[in-house]
Amino acid sequence: MENGKFLKFEEKLLDNLCNIAQKRNYIKQDLYSKYDVKRGLRDQDGRGVLVGLTEIGDVHSYILDENEMVPVPGRLRYRGYDVNDLVRGFMTDKRFGFEEITYLLLFGGLPTKGELEEFVSLLANYQRLPEEFARDMILKAPSKDIMNGLARSVLALYSYDDNPEDTSIRNVLQQCLKLIALFPSIVVYCFQAFSHYHGNKSLYIHSPNPQLSLAENILYMLRPDMQYTPLEADLLDLALVLHAEHGGGNNSSFVTHVVTSTGTDTYSVIASALGSLKGPRHGGANIKVIQMIEDIKANVGNWEDDEELTNYLSKILSKDTFDKSGLIYGVGHAIYSISDPRALILKDYAGKLASEKGLSKEYNLYASIERLAPPLVIAKNNLGSKVVCANVDFYSGFVYKMLNIPVEMFTPIFAIARISGWGAHRIEEIVNSGKIIRPAYKSVAPRQQYIPINQRNCAK
């Protein structure tokens, strides 16, 4: 078929197939309650269905009072340590925290000074990509999406591993450590390829510097002149620590457990987790928040007017504007209610940086949305007495923006952090050699008699 004709035929056929797919895949919504399906793996009261045990991360958001859930300010613990205490610890001592927290997540205890030094030097030795990897796997097929480039690179690393299928703890640990060390270079090179081939900018490929922390290396490789300030490196390090882990039930860590439970290799597992994190309802929300704020700035005449802002937020919720998903990004959380402790920390730094950089008006816009959006989300979704708050993705992008980090890097930075948690969860799943994860789906399709092809009617 000639090209023009094919395009018309294709368009009509796809429209038709799309209608059929929509209609034939629809399941009557009342069947979910009839069969007591735990949609989204949630119980009636919104709590997640208990599907596993972990010692890695603990997310706390309510207490039970006479069997009633009472919301409390959110707490996050890594291996039993409160994240606020961990952050205070390394920031007071003026050292970088991400490597130490990675050690804690993987090995279950805080390292001594000597243990940390050995661990840091191991990571530094793992941070160089295989010879020609950047040229062959990243620069030759630049992706418009850095998460896509990252996942593709992770899968490609399988081919450079002499022992990719070995799922012994020793081998998996080494694979995870190598990936943790390599993620900054892969992400930055994917970004450089994107900005050169899709943005017409000069191409910079700086090798990582083994003397620098992981956070410093991101900035060092990202910047054409390799320069960054201590404050920029400290804040990026803090952000990495805050994003490193969130229990076994968050979508990407659960994916890590699910895919690990099949017995597959580390590269397949981490690529799957990356696919999960990229989603706008999960880690991809940090990019969406920035786009949403730009959209609000362009469409709301006076951001300081609560009424005007509320009207626009309502239009976002009713799918009339912005990306028409009906979501106010950066708001709401599967577990937190009154507050997400990470959002509180990031908000604090966002406020300080904004006043230094003359961006207080924009900071106030964020703060207004944080105040105005929750009641609107609650009303729109009939959530009754539920409490909704800003999540980690709400202020993180604003902080990155003030550190001059490009928006395309936001979710990949989340991945650079969260791979520490994924590595720990993969090892925990293997050590405890769980069953293959395989929940049930009830079939609600009516039984059908086979119809020979010449007696069938067209789909309507």
Ligand X SMILES: CC(=O)SCCNC(=O)CCNC(=O)[C@H](O)C(C)(C)COP(=O)(O)OP(=O)(O)OC[C@H]1O[C@@H](n2cnc3c(N)ncnc32)[C@H](O)[C@@H]1OP(=O)(O)O
Ligand Y SMILES: O=C([O-])CC(=O)C(=O)O
- Residue reference for tokens 């959209």: 295
Task: Single out the residue of 56, 327, 369, 430 in contact with ligand X (rule: CB under 6 A).
Answer: 327
Q: Which segments of 93-229 does DSSP mark as H helices, in order?
A: 98-107, 113-125, 133, 146-157, 169-197, 214-222
Residue closer to ligand X by CB (options 123, 345) is 345
Structure tokens at 416: 């650079």
Q: Which does 78 bind (CB under 5 to 8 A by kind): ligand X, ligand Y, none?
A: none
**278 makes contact with ligand X (CB under 6 A):** no
The 10 Å CB-count burial string (b at 16+, else e) for 316-338 is bbeeebbeeeebbbbbbbbbbbe
**377 makes contact with ligand X (CB under 6 A):** yes
Q: Which amino acid is at 278?
A: K
The 10 Å CB-count burial string (b at 16+, else e) for 65-92 is eeeebebeebebbbbebebeebbeebee
Judge whether 323 and 288 are in contact, CB under 8 Å.
Answer: yes
Task: Single out the residue of 328, 353, 354, 413 in contact with ligand X (rule: CB under 6 A).
Answer: 328
Task: Single out the residue of 272, 391, 396, 411 in contact with ligand X (rule: CB under 6 A).
Answer: 391
Structure tokens at 186: 């892969």
Cβ neighbourhood burial of 41 (10 Å; 0-12, 13-18, 19+): middle
Residue 95 Cβ, how far from ligand X at the closest point, in Å?
A: 26
Q: Which does 328 bind (CB under 5 to 8 A by kind): ligand Y, ligand X, none?
A: ligand X
- First-to-last alpha carbon distance for the chain, in angstroms, is 26
Residue closer to ligand Y by CB (options 49, 444) is 49
**281 makes contact with ligand X (CB under 6 A):** yes
**425 makes contact with ligand Y (CB under 6 A):** no
Element (DSSP H or E) covering residue 60: strand 57-65
Residue closer to ligand Y by CB (options 82, 161) is 82
Residue closer to ligand X by CB (options 134, 285) is 285
Catalytic residue list: 333, 393
Residue closer to ligand Y by CB (options 392, 416) is 392
Would you tell me how many other CB atoms lie within 10 Å of the CB of residue 203?
13
Task: Single out the residue of 99, 234, 393, 429 in contact with ligand X (rule: CB under 6 A).
Answer: 393
Task: Single out the residue of 32, 37, 41, 46 in contact with ligand X (rule: CB under 6 A).
Answer: 46
Choose the binding region for ligand X from 171-179, 227-235, 256-264, 391-399 (rule: CB under 6 A).
391-399
Task: Single out the residue of 249, 283, 351, 421 in contact with ligand X (rule: CB under 6 A).
Answer: 283
Judge whether 274 and 415 are in contact, CB under 8 Å.
Answer: yes
Q: Which amino acid is at 297?
A: K
Choose the binding region for ligand X from 174-182, 189-197, 320-328, 429-437 (rule: CB under 6 A).
320-328
Judge whether 249 and 53 are in contact, CB under 8 Å.
Answer: no
**246 makes contact with ligand Y (CB under 6 A):** yes
**240 makes contact with ligand X (CB under 6 A):** no
Task: Single out the residue of 332, 412, 421, 423 in contact with ligand X (rule: CB under 6 A).
Answer: 332
Number of residues that bind ligand Y (CB under 6 A): 6
**331 makes contact with ligand Y (CB under 6 A):** no
**334 makes contact with ligand Y (CB under 6 A):** yes
Q: Is 327 left (phi over 0), alpha (psi -120 to 50) or beta?
A: beta
**245 makes contact with ligand X (CB under 6 A):** no
Judge whether 193 and 179 are in contact, CB under 8 Å.
Answer: no
Residue 78 Cβ, how far from ligand Y at the closest point, in Å?
A: 12
Residues at the interface with ligand X (CB under 6 A): 40, 46, 281-283, 285, 317, 326-334, 377, 381, 383, 391-393
Residues at the interface with ligand Y (CB under 6 A): 246, 250, 334-335, 391-392
